Chain A
Amino acid sequence: MESTLSEPVLGGAAPAPAAPPGGAPAKDTDEPRRGGSWLRYIGAKAGGAAVSLVMVVLLGFFAFRILPGDPVRSLADGRQVTPEQMDILRRQYGLDQPLPAQFWRYLTDLFQGKLGDSYTYNRPVMELILDRLGPTLLLTGTAAALSVVLGLWLGQRAAWRRGSSFDKTQTGLALVFWSVPTFWLGLLMLLVFAGGLHWFPTGGMVTAGVQATGVEYAWDVARHMVLPVLTMVAVGYAQYLMVMRASLLEEMSADYLVTARAKGLREDDVRRRHAVPNALLPTVTLIFLTLGGLVGGAVTVETVFSWPGLGYLTFQALSAPDFPLLQGTFVVFSSIVIIMNFFADIVYRLLDPRLRAS
């Protein structure tokens, strides 16, 4: 019987060894099983991350070679290109080589940190990416932090006051924001606050033509950051709110809370000291799992606000189309998310003692 049932379904205590380890008194005859090691866990997770990275690298290469559609033709689409010019392009980007040769070149380049050259910019892709990485991290990081904090706090409060008008309004608002396309909200922001009220600039990271430094520079960037961050937070906080709320509501019916109350603990403390910390655990996993979505949001928001980050670069690469650049941004974006997920697994294990036994 191949499927199922090859794992033991041993319930209850394992039979005890004759002499219990450590200084336990001899009367204690039912000892549970010992847990696994820290190293094994990290090893397993790192292995998983490595496999995913390898798949990203492979996909990055093959997507542009295997799928129907000739990259050079798409490149030439809409432009007046003669067959000879297409041949020249092919040779220039090594697209006339046999597939294994291209793949080998791709891998060796990758190990040297090179991701090819951009068609449109005529600069190494790696250089372009490194230029734009900072602004994206700034924008996404700020938005992520604010979304998480806002979502968790509101979600927790809504669960406390379940059924109240606060709860109903918050849940309703969250559902509405969840249904809003990020880019459209950005457009609205532009329309109202930049175009209409002129409170904030309409795009970019710094005011064009101005060479500011130090505090002035920071202030300028901050002003430009307000609308894009607001857009991302508005759409992002909603799912954290819903998850935290659901998680806390589920936790509040747990048995150990009855024990806490029976001990004489005040209701507020029961929630704050027992329910909320436990409810946070599954929420933490979810936060890291949704990192991929946050990255997607970066692409659209940066495009709408012309924020000079990795997302805007991806959009520009798409519009051209600039395949080496697309390939490069895909690999970099995916790798960042994979690595973040790996850290998430580590953090989660640190937080939840139950995982240390597995």
Chain B
Amino acid sequence: MSTSVRTTPDQPPTLSPSTGPGRGQRSVAAARRIQRAREVWAEFAANRAGLIGLVLLGVVILLAFLAPVLAPEETLNVTRITSSQNEPPTWANPLGTDPAGRSILAMLVWGARISLLVGFAATAVSMLIGTVVGMAAGHFTGVTQGVLMRVIDFFLVVPSLVLAIVLSSVIGPGVATIVIAIGITSWAGTARLVRSQTLSVESRAYIERSWALGASDAHIIGKHVLPAVMPLVLANTTLTVGSAIIAESTLSFLGMGDPGQISWGSMLKAALDTGAATGGYWWFVLTPGIAIVLVVLCFTLVGRAFESVINPTLRGR
């Protein structure tokens, strides 16, 4: 069999530095991944709002992590309180005290732990279920798809807060309950997104080429669909953490959290229960809420920045 020695007549393309004859295929893929990661970071950093959000989030997470150091647990022990109740901000208690006399600043830092933990955990549950179901609903056809679609539609339609209330009333109050409740009520949104992305990926010609090459379902999903869907899932995850934190605060506020744990939502529940709002104790009402708004806003900005990285048409919006 004779092969021609002509080189391709096209104009030379802009190729990245070619690999030498000894390098294996794995390092080719790895080099490409590193380069892509660098590009993604550069693009992300160009979005100022996202960058600020990321930095602030880092600070908040650090503070939450250092909670035992910054505000040792004894200061929150109600039996050992030295300050008086419902004090407005002073130098001793920069954010004032709650009806039990505890420093609100300390409570805020500790509350961050629960709020962030629940936010991340619930998002993880939601994302996992949503991605798996979404990919399945997009890939398979026939009865499987019909059933999955009905299930997704159902969870989309049912008012999530009401469903969360039902779930938590049956399981009983607690942190785990909130995580499960948020996870179960929010996975459908992700599933719908993942499904439409799966459908769009699977309509591309390279999927047909894979089938023609002899691929199996697992190969198509694992090698083509999942990598294409992941960036979208990651961007969506960031946004979901934000809404999970809001959901956690809402559920805690309505009394479904663990009464023994401090979270931003439970602080606001106490504010309502003890009449802080009508009584004019603004520091108790204001601070946990501002903390929530700030953190959720940061997640939203980071999520949007990430979205504009993976979808260039969204840049500059």
A interface list, Cβ under 8 A from B? 1-7, 48, 51-52, 55-56, 59-60, 63-64, 67-69, 71, 74, 77, 175-176, 178-185, 187-188, 190-191, 194-196, 202, 246, 249, 289, 292-293, 295-296, 299-300, 303-304, 314-315, 317-319, 321, 323, 326-327, 329-330, 333-334, 337-338, 341
B151 to chain A, nearest CB (A): 8
In the complex, residue of chain B having the shortest beta-carbon distance to the beta carbon of A74: B172
Q: Which of B157, B161, B207 contacts A52 (CB 8 A)?
A: B157
Q: Which residues of A contact B124 (CB under 8 A)?
A: none
A303: chain B residues within 8 A (beta carbon): 254
The residue in chain B whose Cβ has the minimal distance to the Cβ of A175 is: B300
Contact B250 A300, beta carbon cutoff 8 Å: yes
Q: Judging by beta carbons under 8 Å apart, are A180 and B293 in contact? A: yes
Contact partner of B170 among A3, A74, A178, CB < 8 A? Answer: A74
Interface assignment of B278: CB less than 8 Å from any CB of chain A:
yes
Which of B139, B156, B166, B169 makes the CB contact (< 8 A) with A292? B156
Asked if A246 and B317 make an inter-chain contact with CB atoms under 8 angstroms apart, the answer reads yes
Please tell me if the beta carbons of B272 and A187 are within 8 angstroms of each other in the complex: yes
Contact B160 A293 (CB under 8 A): yes
Whole-angstrom distance between the alpha carbons of A295 and B164 in the complex? 13
Residue positions of B touching A, CB distance < 8 A: 139-142, 150, 153-154, 156-163, 165-172, 202, 207, 211, 217, 242, 246, 249-250, 253-256, 265, 268, 271-272, 277-280, 282, 285-286, 288-289, 292-294, 296-297, 300-301, 317
Given contacts A5-B211, A175-B300, A246-B317, contact A183 B153 (CB under 8 A): no
A179 adjacent to B242 (CB under 8 Å): yes
Contacts of B171 in A (CB 8 A): 67-69
- Chain B residues positioned under 8 Å from A51 (CB to CB): 150, 154
In the assembled complex, the Cα of A4 lies from the Cα of B203 at a distance in Å of: 9
Collect the chain B residues with CB atoms within 8 Å of residue A67's CB.
167, 170-171
Known: A52-B154, A292-B157. A187 touches B141 (CB 8 A): no
How many angstroms between the C-alpha atoms of A289 and B255 in the bound complex? 27
Q: Find chain A residues with CB under 8 A from B249 CB.
A: 181, 183-184
Whether B277 pairs with A333 at a CB distance below 8 angstroms is: no
A333 CB contact (under 8 Å) in B159, B294, B296, B317: B159
- Does the CB pair B141–A2 fall under 8 Å? yes
Min C-beta distance of A309 to chain B, whole Å: 13
CB-nearest residue of chain B relative to A297?
Answer: B161
- Give 25 CB contacts A-B under 8 Å: A2-B140, A3-B217, A4-B211, A51-B150, A67-B170, A176-B297, A183-B268, A184-B285, A187-B272, A188-B277, A195-B278, A246-B317, A292-B159, A296-B250, A303-B254, A317-B169, A318-B254, A319-B255, A326-B166, A326-B169, A330-B165, A334-B158, A334-B162, A337-B159, A338-B157
**Extra pairs beyond A55-B154, A187-B268 (20, CB < 8 Å):** A2-B142, A4-B211, A55-B150, A64-B166, A180-B292, A183-B253, A184-B268, A187-B271, A187-B289, A195-B280, A202-B278, A249-B317, A296-B162, A296-B250, A299-B165, A300-B250, A314-B165, A319-B255, A327-B166, A330-B166
Choose among B153, B162, B166, B202 the residue that contacts A48 (Cβ–Cβ < 8 A). B153
Q: How far is the CA of A331 from the CA of B100 in the complex (A)?
A: 40
Task: Report the Cα distance A21→B57, complex, angstroms.
Answer: 66
Please state if B297 and A175 are interface contacts (CB–CB under 8 Å).
yes
Binding site secondary structure of chain A: helix
Task: Please give, as numbers and ranges, the residues of chain A lying within 8 Å of B268 by CB-CB distance.
Answer: 183-184, 187
CA distance A333 to B160 in the complex (A): 11
Quick one: which of B167, B253, B255, B289 contacts A63, CB cutoff 8 A?
Answer: B167
Q: A63-B170, A246-B317 are known contacts. Are A175 and B165 too (CB-CB below 8 A)?
A: no
* Partner among B141, B161, B292 whose Cβ is within 8 Å of the Cβ of A299: B161
**B297–A179 CB distance below 8 A:** yes
Contact indicator A3/B140 (Cβ below 8 Å): yes
Q: Which residues of A are found within 8 Å of B279, using beta-carbon distances?
A: 195
Cα distance, A190 to B246, chains bound together (Å): 20
Q: In the complex, what's the smallest C-beta–C-beta distance from A121 to chain B, in angstroms? A: 16
Q: Is the Cβ of B285 less than 8 Å from the Cβ of A188? A: yes
Closest-CB distance, B271 to chain A (whole angstroms): 7
Contact B242 A330 (CB under 8 A): no
Closest to B275 in A: A195
* A246 proximity list for chain B (CB < 8 A): 317
Cα of A176 to Cα of B170 in the assembled complex, Å: 34
Residues of B within 8 A of A63 (CB): 166-167, 170
In order of increasing CB-CB distance, the 9 nearest A-B pairs are A296-B161, A179-B296, A184-B289, A295-B159, A179-B297, A195-B278, A292-B159, A190-B277, A67-B170
Give min CB distance, A253 to chain B, whole Å.
9
Neighbouring B residues of A333 by C-beta, 8 Å: 159, 162
Q: Does B150 lie within 8 Å of A48, measured CB to CB?
A: yes
Which of B142, B157, B249, B301 lies at the interface centre, i.e. has the most chain A CB atoms within 10 A of its CB?
B157
Is B286 touching A188 in the complex (CB atoms < 8 A)?
yes
Inter-subunit contact B160/A191 (CB<8 Å):
no
Judge whether A69 and B172 touch: CB under 8 Å.
Answer: yes
Closest chain-B Cβ to A329's Cβ sits at a distance in Å of 7
B57 to chain A, nearest CB (A): 13
Q: B250, A292: Cβ atoms under 8 Å?
A: no
* Closest chain A residue to B141, Cβ basis: A3
